[in-house]
Amino acid sequence: MQESSAMEQKTNGNSEPGSVLIDGKLGMLRAILDIIIPADTGFPGAGDLGASPYVERNATKSPHFTRLLLDGLVQIDVESYATHKKNFTDLKVDQKIEVLRVVEENATAFFELLIRYCYNFYYTHPKVLKLLGLETRPPQPKGYQLHTIDLSLHDKVTARGQFYRQV
């Protein structure tokens, strides 16, 4: 009984009901997303910001994306071992980039979805919007103020006279 419980604990240690990622795969996804958008000049990496649960949650909504995600992560693992004999999470940054470039070329559909969900999470996150100098509010009801154009800029155009073909 104890041995069985220990096995269950090992495989389900970081998963929640409805998850598709177990056995450290969520941590691997986090490491991947920190390469997709790395920490830079005060901005957090996408993985550190918390993008991996978001990506996984979206995968659970679509059987197609679930498969793409699981297959894609396996390919990343396979490529990591094939070229560096290590888990992806144990590679150096440049090695991780190299592995992801290979997988990007070989698993285009997976990679495009990964990028899309990563960017979706990152660039709608209040912390990132604040760092970009934006107000974290919806566009309405305030909108934005804009100045009107300098009307003297039209002078050169109007000086040309009629510019349409009379029929």
Q: Which residues bind other proteins (CB under 8 A)?
A: 35-38, 40-41, 43, 97, 100, 115-116, 118-120, 122-124, 128-129, 132, 134, 139-150, 153-154, 156-158, 160-165
Closer residue to other proteins (CB): 1 or 157 = 157
Q: How far is the CB of 64 from other proteins (least distance, A)?
A: 20
Cβ 102 to other proteins, closest distance in Å? 13
Provide the minimum distance between the beta carbon of 66 and other proteins in the complex, in angstroms, as a whole number: 22
Task: Please check whether residue 88 is in contact with residue 77, taking contact to mean a CB–CB distance below 8 angstroms.
Answer: yes
Q: Which is nearer to other proteins, 2 or 145 (CB)?
A: 145
- Provide the minimum distance between the beta carbon of 81 and other proteins in the complex, in angstroms, as a whole number: 22
